[in-house]
Amino acid sequence: MSRILIKNGTLITDQESRQVDLLIEGEKIVAIEAVSAKNVETVVDASGKFILPGGIDPHTHFDLPMFGTVSSDDHYTGTKAAAFGGTTTVIDFVSLDFPTLHESVEAWREKAAKAAVDYTAHMNLTRFDSNIAAEIPRLPEWGIASLKVFTAYNNRLRLDDGSIFKALQIARQHDMLVLIHAENGDVIEVLTTQALAAGHTEPIWHARTRPAWGAVEATLRACALAAQADAPIYIVHMNAAGEVDMLRYARERGVRAMGETCPQYLFFTEEDLKRPDGAKWICSPPMRTSADNNRLWQGLMDGTLQTVGTDHCPFFFDGTKPILYEGKPVAIPGKELGKDDFTKIPNGLPGVQDRLPVLWTAGVVSGKLTPQQFVALTSTNPAKIFGLYPRKGALLPGSDADIVIWDPNKKVKYGVALSHQRTDYNLYEGWELTGYPEKVFLRGKLIVDGERWLGKSGDGQFLPRRSSGEFL
Ligand code: URP
Ligand code: ZN
Ligand code: ZN
Instruction: Please confirm whether the linkage preceding 285 is cis (ω < 30° from 0).
Output: yes
**DSSP designation for 284:** S
Ligand nearest to the CA of 234: 2
Which band of pLDDT confidence, cut at 50, 70 and 90, is reported for residue 1? confident
pLDDT band at residue 213 using 50, 70 and 90 as cut-offs: very high
Residue 91: predicted pLDDT: 98
Look at residue 38 in the predicted model and tell me its pLDDT. 79
Instruction: Enumerate the β-bridge partners of residue 361.
Output: none
Nearest CA residue ID for atom 2, ligand 1: 348
Q: Which of 17, 85, 28, 118 is nearest to 404 (CA)?
A: 85
Give the chain's mean pLDDT.
Answer: 97
Amino acid at 320: T
| Residue 34 reports pLDDT greater than 80 | no
- C-alpha to C-alpha distance for 79 and 334, rounded to whole angstroms: 20
HSE toward the beta carbon, residue 291, CA cutoff 13 A = 5
Can you give the pLDDT at residue 358?
98
Cβ–ligand 1 distance for 311 under 6 Å, the answer yes
Domains and CATH numbers, the chain: 3-53+395-453 (2.30.40.10), 55-385 (3.20.20.140)
Residue (of 104, 51, 140, 35) closest to 464 by Cα position = 140
Q: What is the pTM of this model?
A: 0.98
Atom 4 (ligand 1): residue with closest C-alpha? 348
Q: Which of 280, 184, 186, 297 is nearest to 239 (CA)?
A: 297
Choosing from 93, 181, 347 the residue with most ligand 1 atoms within 8 A of its CB, the one to mutate for a pocket test is 347
Place 96 in a pLDDT band, splitting at 50, 70 and 90. very high
Query: Residue of the nearest CA to atom 3 in ligand 1?
Result: 284
- Choose one of 57, 60, 61 to mutate for the ligand 1 pocket test, by most ligand atoms within 8 angstroms of C-beta: 61
Q: Tell me the C-alpha distance between 247 and 15, whole Å.
A: 24
pLDDT at 39: 83
**Cβ of 348 less than 6 Å from ligand 1:** yes
Nearest CA to 361 out of 429, 439, 276, 433 is that of: 433
- The per-residue pLDDT for 35 is 77
Instruction: Express each pLDDT in 289-316 by its tens digit.
Output: 999 999 999 999 999 999 999 999 999 9
Q: Which stretches of 69-145 are assigned E, i.e. beta strand?
A: 69-70, 87-94, 118-124
**DSSP letters of 5-63?**
EEEEEEEE-SS-EEEEEEEEETTEEEEEE----TT-SEEEE-TT-EEEEPEEES-B--S
Confidence of residue 194 (pLDDT cuts 50, 70, 90): very high
Gap from CA of 217 to ligand 1 centroid (Å): 19
Name the residue of 94, 124, 280, 311 whose CB sits within 8 Å of the most ligand 1 atoms, as the mutation to test its pocket: 311
pLDDT category at 355 given cuts 50, 70, 90 is very high
Is the CB–ligand 1 distance for residue 256 below 6 Å? no
Percentage of the chain exceeding pLDDT 70: 100
Q: Give 11-33 pLDDT, tens digit per residue.
A: 999 999 999 999 999 999 999 98
Residue 243 Cβ < 6 Å to ligand 1: no
pLDDT digits (tens, 9 = 90+) for 436-460: 999 999 999 999 999 999 999 999 9
pLDDT at 33: 85
Least confident piece of the model among 32-46, 107-121, 173-187, 308-322: 32-46
Residue pLDDT, tens place only, 214-262: 999 999 999 999 999 999 999 999 999 999 999 999 999 999 999 999 9
CA of 18 to the centre of ligand 3 (A): 36
Specify the ligand 1 atom closest to the Cα of 283: 1
Please tell me the distance between residue 382's alpha carbon and the centre of ligand 3 in angstroms: 15
C-alpha count within 13 angstroms, C-beta hemisphere, residue 87: 34
**Residue of 147, 149, 287, 313 best suited for mutating to test ligand 1, as the one with most atoms within 8 Å of CB:** 313
Q: How far apart are CA 100 and CA 107, in angstroms?
A: 11
